[in-house]
A and B are shown apart, each in its own frame.
Chain A
Amino acid sequence: MATKNYPDPILNEKLRDRYYHRDQSNPEFTKEIEKIAGTMAHMCFQCGTCTAGCPSAPRSSYRIREFMRRAVLGLEDEALTDPDLWFCTTCYSCTDRCPRDLAPTDVIMAMRNLAARRDIVPVNFLKTVQAIYSSGHGVPNNDVNRAAREKLGMTRDPPTTSMYPEYIKGIQKILDHYGLKERADRIIKEREG
């Protein structure tokens, strides 16, 4: 059978090879993503419904559909090193609208987990970890707020780890179990000196 040819010989070569992405593709990546996310990413038929309703799409180059494709093709490096990965607000609109009943949001979360294993994670995420490690709160109490609470007839500290700091040790043990605080400190130091 005659093969249709294109003028560009390199493109011809690529098109002849149905797996021309294979040197960048890691099939294990697809499996790992599906396992962490608990969704069958390979069922995605690229309709674009997810991107159409995504609040981050109109104001950046972030395209959730593209990340779904990367999940399916096993394009691990391309997915995990793209700064757009961190533009998902986790609003779950795409997940509620996907006609294949997939969970693109959870695919993003899985990719972020895998990126974090390579120390690819924005500093603001790690600072939340540090705050929780020292106070139990991601957004801790402060003196202005203590005064405001008092004026409202409330206790200066809420009955959380703020009022009962003895509970912080348990939180630190959980985080230390995973070595997360240490990792957060190290990465922040590498980035910010």
Chain B
Amino acid sequence: MREYAFFLGCIAPNRYPGAESASIITSRRLGIELLPLNGASCCPAPGAFGSIDLNIWYAMAARNLVLAEQMERDIALICNGCYKSIYEVNHKLKHNDELRDGVNEVLKEIDMEFKGSIDVWHLAELLYDENIVGVEKIRESVKVPLTGTKIAVHYGCHLMKPKKERHMGSTEAPRWIEELVEALGAEAVEYRNKMQCCGAGGGVRGYDLPHSLDITNEKLQNMIEVGADAVTEVCPFCQLQFDRGQIEIEEKFGIKYDMPVFHYNELLGLAQGMSPSELGLDLHAISTEPFLKKVL
């Protein structure tokens, strides 16, 4: 078993708890133990905090990092927003002495010190890494293949972009999450402008909801166009924007899609034989029934 400190963030534990629980259970079956990171907080939200003052964003994220340093475990997480804060701040503080000294000056007030002793990973990249899990092992863990379904992958932004500050290659037309989806027996469909943002980030969802939803709406149209049965993502904030966003799109624009939205770990749980109620799928705003009918 490889052990990681599981950084939860806000939206998974507090709005889509099934995504949290599915991540723990499915990972355990694949040799990854996600341990609780006691006392962690919001990452903090990179759009809101970074926009107000980058220095405060660094200090707040560093507090979360220090908690994992104290556990002597790398962090694994399941949200792209958290990835931006936690991964990027860790990287910046490790490589910029001036920045690290400034942050440690503040952390001293709460008896903490950032040492730079751990790494930060998105669970999706651990699942894809064949030295850790890999597509083959995922395929072997499937009990209920999602055969006959078409799934549109939404990568979200902060997992792979900006590419210079990541390590996952080109951000124009990646296929690795599609490989993870296809390992479950589903067909991962390509659609127009796949790498476009969900519309929620940067504080825009709170600043101008219709503007933000209009971006989501365009993505949904592009997915419908190719006959997708569901969307999958690796970010609970994108999940919220696509799932609850569809209710808001109906209210504001009068357009109804009924497109089920799954965190990848929920899909993985389904394919590994977890029941919809074990996955908390009834908590989704958009019913997942039409999709479940195809596979169960």
Contacts and interface: CB of A to CB of B under 8 A. Distances in A.
A174 B157 contact: no
B215 A92 contact: no
A140 B15 CA distance: 9
Contacts of A180: 52-53, 56
A85 to B, nearest CB: 9
A129 B50 CA distance: 11
Interface string A144-186: 0100110111100011111110111111011101101000000
Nearest to B216: A55
B196 interface: yes
Contact of A113 (B37, B54, B200): B54
Contact of A177 (B106, B157, B201): B106
Interface in A76-108: 86-93, 95-96, 103, 105
B185 interface: no
B128 to A, nearest CB: 20
B13 interface: yes
B39 to A, nearest CB: 4
Interface in B183-206: 195-197, 199-204, 206
B136 to A, nearest CB: 29
Interface in B160-209: 161-164, 171-172, 195-197, 199-204, 206-208
Given A139-B10, A141-B13, A158-B13, A86 B204 contact: yes
B40 interface: yes
Contacts, number: 211
Interface residues of A, number: 63
A69 interface: no
A33 to B, nearest CB: 12
Contacts of B207: 86-87, 122, 124-125
A96 B171 contact: yes
Contact of B41 (A96, A126, A148, A161): A161
A3 interface: no
27 contacts: A56-B211, A59-B214, A86-B207, A87-B207, A90-B50, A91-B161, A95-B164, A105-B162, A113-B51, A121-B51, A122-B207, A124-B206, A125-B48, A128-B44, A138-B48, A140-B10, A141-B13, A148-B17, A151-B277, A153-B21, A158-B13, A158-B20, A159-B8, A168-B41, A171-B63, A177-B106, A180-B56
Interface of B: 8, 10-11, 13-15, 17-18, 20-21, 36-42, 44-56, 59-60, 63, 106-107, 109-110, 112, 157-158, 161-164, 171-172, 195-197, 199-204, 206-208, 211-212, 214-215, 277-278, 280, 283
